[in-house]
Amino acid sequence: MTQLVQLQSALPTLHGAGYEVYAISNDTVERLAEFAERHSISFDLLADEDSGVIRAFGIMNTLVEPGEGKHMRWYGIPYPGTFITDANGTIVDKDFHQHHARRLSGPALAHRVLGTDPEPHRDAPMATTADAELSVAASLTDPTLRLEVISMMTVEIDIAHGRHIYAAGAPQAFTPVGLRVEGTGVRADAPIWPVPTALSMAELGMEVPVYTGKVRVSVPVTATSEIIRLGHGLDYDRAEVTITCSYQSCDEYACALPTTVQTTLCVPLETLVEPPGIQSYADRVTRERTKALHQGSSRGTHDPHD
């Protein structure tokens, strides 16, 4: 649901870049019509009711047994994922995740399709820090973080004029730049670094990978169930994401000692566009849990009426 609604938001960008958008599921035409109406979806939602196309793609979820959860149409669902093609229909990229809840946010997918560097969303929070050698500005492609929806964090490192920092692959004597992104209930994948430039070091007789000027790093981040539980609304209103940049900078004469700078990005959390019924499931789980807790404490105090 969230994914289709976010795709609708990304539609002007994708259409503007010359991409048609299609979404396929084993839903019936009637269900898709109702959903499209309710959420103002204007792109094609395709109904693969007998899962013929899903099977032809070889992505039918075989963990679901025939006849299982019939009224919810569990049998015949695909492993969720996205294909990106060129104008001739050749697949140029695809994005699948092992966990069904994980998917790129609308803006993150748009950047992936267009092959552009992720840009901060205009309503996204920003955190900055600086020392004499560089400054760091962190933001997101989305204004909020949502459960298992992958947003791209943009980290811009601006290195002081005349200085360079070392990239991965530099000789052991130099400390390469590193980024650590962490926070309670936040999962960050490996940072995506741009290609460094090669600095010729005559005295070492070698070329060393370095960054100079502005360096834009992208880090996939998402909120996890540690801070948002499906169907339970928001237990917390924001996540705190700490960004630590460790580096060593030099100019053409001398190197400074390795050091770190750190900043914290406070990101508002947002619930998913949830399927109907999930909240009543969640309420039932809470009731059962409360009941079990109550029974547990009664036993603990040896209630004479027990």
Partner 1 sequence: MSDAEYYDEFGFYSPMPLNRAARREPDEDFPTGPPIGTALPGIQLPNQHGAVVDVASQMGSNGAVVVFHRSAYW
Amino acid letter, residue 263: T
Contact between residue 268 and residue 234 where contact means Cβ atoms under 8 Å apart: no
Nearer to partner 1, 43 or 125 (CB): 43
Nearer to partner 1, 96 or 171 (CB): 96
Site for partner 1 in 239-278 (CB under 8 A): 275-276, 278
Tokens of residue 296, six digits: 């547990």
Angle at 162 between CA 160 and CA 168, to 5 degrees: 75
Nearer to partner 1, 252 or 303 (CB): 303
Candidates 125-133, 250-258, 286-294, 298-306; binding stretch for partner 1 (CB under 8 A): 286-294
With CB under 8 A as the contact rule, the residue among 197, 212, 224, 244 that binds partner 1 is: 224
236: contact with partner 1 by CB under 8 A: no
Tokens of residue 64, six digits: 């679901």
Cβ neighbours around 146 below 10 Å, total: 19
Residues in contact with partner 1, counted by CB under 8 A, come to a total of 88
Amino acid letter, residue 141: T
Phi first, then psi: give them for residue 130, nearest 5 degrees: -160, 155
Site for partner 1 in 157-196 (CB under 8 A): none
Nearer to partner 1, 24 or 188 (CB): 24
Contact between residue 73 and residue 27 where contact means Cβ atoms under 8 Å apart: yes
Nearer to partner 1, 101 or 160 (CB): 101
86: contact with partner 1 by CB under 8 A: yes
Nearer to partner 1, 19 or 255 (CB): 19
Compute the least distance from the CB of residue 261 to partner 1, in Å: 30
- Binding-site string for partner 1 from residue 8 to residue 37, where x marks contact by CB under 8 A and - marks none: ------xx-xxxxxxxxxxx-x-xxx-xx-
**Largest Cα–Cα distance in the chain?**
87
Phi first, then psi: give them for residue 177, nearest 5 degrees: -65, 140
Q: Shortest CA distance to 145 belongs to which of 199, 184, 115, 202?
A: 184
Compute the least distance from the CB of residue 96 to partner 1, in Å: 4
List the beta bridge partners of residue 45.
23
Candidates 77-85, 122-130, 250-258, 260-268; binding stretch for partner 1 (CB under 8 A): 77-85
81: contact with partner 1 by CB under 8 A: yes
Amino acid letter, residue 276: P
